Every structure is written in C-alpha cells, then in structure tokens.
C-alpha cells in the first residue's frame, strides 16, 4: 500500500520568498505523484503531477516539484511567493490503478 507524509502542517513565508513544501512517499510500485491546491471552501485543483520521464515537473502558477527516488521525496517549490498562493496544499500518491492516497495537507500562509 502507498502513503505520503507531508512535513509541516503549517508553513509561513513572506511575499517574494521561496516556498518549499515537503512530501515523502511510500510505495511498493513505481508511484505516480501529485500536488493539489485547495482554496477555502473549494475542491482540489491539480498543480502538477509526476508519472514517468523527467523528474523535475513544472506545474501551474509557477510551482514545480522534483521526484527523487533515492530520497522517496516529491517536494513542492516556488521561487517567489505571492499573496494569492495562500492555500492548503496536498501531496498524493497513486499506484497507477486509480487508488490515490493523500497526505494530511500543509497550510501555506504568505505574509506581506
């Protein structure tokens, strides 16, 4: 069975600062990895995904993530935070058959 652990339930950064949200996964098969964003009282929106190929994945809104098999990690980064990035972010892993498991989420706060 697969699972993900998100390190840090809350992350606070200043506007313009680097955003780093951490995710480690566990999977018995080559994983598909995802980052989703959730704004208040809304559903989840896909930011980016890794399936196969290039390990550095670029997503929407300037976010990117790097799949590191040796570290079983899939951390999400953005060089410069915007106020509009304040939201909850979820890392997820899939076993390629549609069984997706989510981390507990990281709430990102952006300070002016």
Partner 1 sequence: SQTIHQWPATLVQPVGSPLSLECTVEGTSNPNLYWYRQAAGRGLQLLFYSVGIGQISSEVPQNLSASRPQDRQFILSSKKLLLSDSGFYLCAQGLAGGSITGELFFGEGSRLTVL
Q: Which residues bind partner 1 (CB under 8 A)?
A: 9, 32, 34, 36, 41-46, 49, 51, 90, 94-105
Residue 16 Cβ, how far from partner 1 at the closest point, in Å? 29
Q: How far is the CB of 20 from partner 1 (least distance, A)?
A: 19
Least gap, CB of 79 to partner 1 (angstroms)? 25
- Listing DSSP states for 31-98 in one string gives PEEEEEEE-TTS-EEEEEEE-SS-SEEE-GGG-EEEEEGGGTEEEEEESS--GGG-EEEEEEEE-SSS
Euclidean distance between CA atoms 32 and 22, whole angstroms = 16
């Amino acid at each position: 069975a697969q699972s993900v652990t998100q390190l840090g339930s809350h992350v606070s950064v200043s506007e313009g600062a680097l955003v780093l949200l951490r995710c480690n996964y566990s999977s018995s098969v080559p994983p598909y990895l995802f980052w989703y964003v959730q704004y208040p009282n809304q559903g989840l929106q896909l930011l980016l995904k890794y399936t196969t190929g290039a390990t550095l994945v670029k997503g929407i809104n300037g976010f990117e993530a790097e799949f590191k098999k040796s570290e079983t990690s899939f951390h999400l980064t953005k060089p410069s935070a915007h106020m509009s990035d304040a939201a909850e972010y979820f890392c997820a892993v899939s076993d390629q058959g549609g069984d997706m498991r989510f981390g507990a989420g990281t709430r990102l706060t952006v300070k002016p």
